[in-house]
């Protein structure tokens, strides 16, 4: 079983307490009326589908209940880092460049 670090509980907890919630950092467009059908379709359905490092949402549904984000490698299934919802993608606002020091 995977152990996933919840940034709110600040503990590594068993995978079965968590729910997966899709790709992270996808903001709802502020003015959907101004969008073409193709743009709206892209917002709704088109995802990165990364092979490798992926930024994604998880929810500690059978724990503290909170949504948070994770950096996971889709090839190795390794969680490089988790972080609270609402903070920028690691590497954008801080100096994070990879796995080192990110995992608890």
Residues that bind Zn ion (CB under 5 A): 6, 8-9, 60, 63-64
Whole-angstrom CA distances from 78 to 37, 53, 54, 99 are: 36, 9, 10, 10
Task: State which of positions 58-77 bind other proteins (CB under 8 A).
Answer: 62-66
Nearer to other proteins, 5 or 54 (CB): 5
- Which CB sits closer to Zn ion, 14 or 29? 14
| Sites of contact with other proteins (CB under 8 A) | 1, 8-9, 11, 13-14, 16-17, 62-66
């Amino acid at each position: 079983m995977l152990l996933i670090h919840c940034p709110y509980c600040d503990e590594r907890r068993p995978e079965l307490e968590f729910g997966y919630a899709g790709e992270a950092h996808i903001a709802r467009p502020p003015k959907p009326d101004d969008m073409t059908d193709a743009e709206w379709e892209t917002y709704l359905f088109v995802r990165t589908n990364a092979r490798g490092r992926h930024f994604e949402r998880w929810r500690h549904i059978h724990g503290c209940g909170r949504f948070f984000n994770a950096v996971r490698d889709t090839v190795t299934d390794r969680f490089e880092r988790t972080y609270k919802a609402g903070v920028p993608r690691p590497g954008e606002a801080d100096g994070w460049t990879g796995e080192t020091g990110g995992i608890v």
